[in-house]
Structure 1
């Protein structure tokens, strides 16, 4: 399979250190996709999960090594910490192994559009002001993902290759969860609309999305625990939301929503 080359790649919510991380799919993505710049948009290492149980398999270590290798070979990597790795925010502007930590950043596309890059928990009122509720919700979500992990194994044994996520199914069947996603999107857009940027690229809620909200571009990278999605910038400045997953025979690349052309 050929290597895809992009100007910029954004990935978030890897949750290394948790059993929910799909590290095998992530490694495949990193192997077959290169870029001049790579943004790690928060919740890269799940310190919440590690504080409850030490879990660090070999492929999680391989992910770190792969990222460090990319940084050594001229990929500019910027790490934007999230709420699950919030301790890293204390090291704003530090450089670790050629990876630069920034609590937020402004990225200008090849076509001149300016995007604020943040994890996004700063605009989630539950995560910001009701931390215990956020942690309780996170534990319930983790249980769904753990069950989904075993369900995914069974589906593979049965030869079913579709990417079904129980957590995503529940999320979109529960009215309050759907409303939370809508409220989150509106909150972040309304807060940033007058900040002199054309849009925002974030993560946090594990719901990949690209949409125009009143002339402001809202873009969410998704995650690598459920959907295995990323945002990429082509060399002409157009942005695309992609899904990456592995079958038994080959790696399949599927565009979810194609080409947010900057008008």
Structure 2
């Protein structure tokens, strides 16, 4: 085989985090998610809740076809290739929580998990619906918000169908509209603070979550906030590289944000590293 015909292997990630796929709902971008998984190579894959939308499937007609079957097969292929799968159920796949603590070949089901990065950071992995009590508006305002969000997601899908016909890249109408809403931004701000506070209370270095469909990656006062986004709006995932670098990726592999590895602790003057045994 000539060098020109050799196809390079995809980069292997130390860990990958995805959430809010909502398989079975009409808003899921299952084809894009299947493509992402099929190009993935990683040691660990965290499924951070709402992977299958059991709530939608119990209330309305399930949207299930060839793209959804491709997702399932891609997950099986990753497991067969040696990837460890950790499932942390969310609110739309809540019934799976009764299996928390179960360990299957290449898969674990956990209520929450702690991920240790290559550079020693300990990150809480949780879906995020535990913080609803301090973030939700409640009552009619919340019900209207749910109704409006469903309409926005429908418009988001139609908009991108048109954009694809003209060869334009994916763009989230839903995220754009939410950023124009002061109420939505206040809700997200409360959610972020609740997650950071939870991580600090547990003595951890940060949090990886989903739930609010707003992909984000930053560090605040030494604590990492990583929201891996979703597959109905942002089409994003969080990855950890071999050196501990955290990177927020789009479904096409572009980097939206990144955090470098934590710097090693500086040694005080005259202190020496211990010699290897």
* TM norm. shorter chain > 0.5: yes
Q: Which runs of 5+ in 1 are unaligned?
A: 246-252
- Cα deviation, 1:140-172, whole Å, max 9, x if unaligned, reads 32221112111111111123x232222111100
- 1:72 deviates by 2.4
SS of the residue corresponding to residue 229 of structure 2 reads coil
1:82 matched to 2:90: yes
Which of 40, 51, 56 aligns to 2:64? It is 56
Conserved in 2, the CA contact under 8 Å of 1:210 and 1:260?
A: no
Compared CA separation, residues 182 and 4, structure 1 to 2 (3 A): same
Which of 128, 143, 146 aligns to 1:138? It is 146
Give 2:23's aligned residue: 16
SS of the residue corresponding to residue 193 of structure 1 reads helix
Q: Which runs of 5+ in 2 are unaligned?
A: 1-6, 264-277
- 1:95 deviates by 3.7
Structure 1 runs, 4 residues or longer, greater than 6 Å off: 126-129
Give 1:94's aligned residue: 102
Conserved in 2, the CA contact under 8 Å of 1:122 and 1:128?
A: no
Alignment of 1:108-123 (within 5 A): 108-123=116-131
Give 2:259's aligned residue: 259
Which of 169, 173, 179 aligns to 1:172? It is 179
Compared CA separation, residues 209 and 243, structure 1 to 2 (3 A): same
- 1:132 deviates by 8.3
Distance (whole Å) between structure 2 residues aligned to residue 244 and residue 170 of structure 1: 21
Find the structure with the greater CA-based Rg.
2
- 1:259 deviates by 3.4
Conserved in 2, the CA contact under 8 Å of 1:16 and 1:45?
A: yes
Conserved in 2, the CA contact under 8 Å of 1:121 and 1:128?
A: no
Distance (whole Å) between structure 2 residues aligned to residue 138 and residue 260 of structure 1: 37
TM-score by length of 2: 0.86
Which of 196, 201, 204 aligns to 2:208? It is 201
Q: More deviation in 34-43 or 2-11?
A: 2-11
Alignment of 1:60-71 (within 5 A): 60-71=68-79
1:162 matched to 2:169: yes
SS of the residue corresponding to residue 124 of structure 1 reads helix
TM-score by length of 1: 0.90
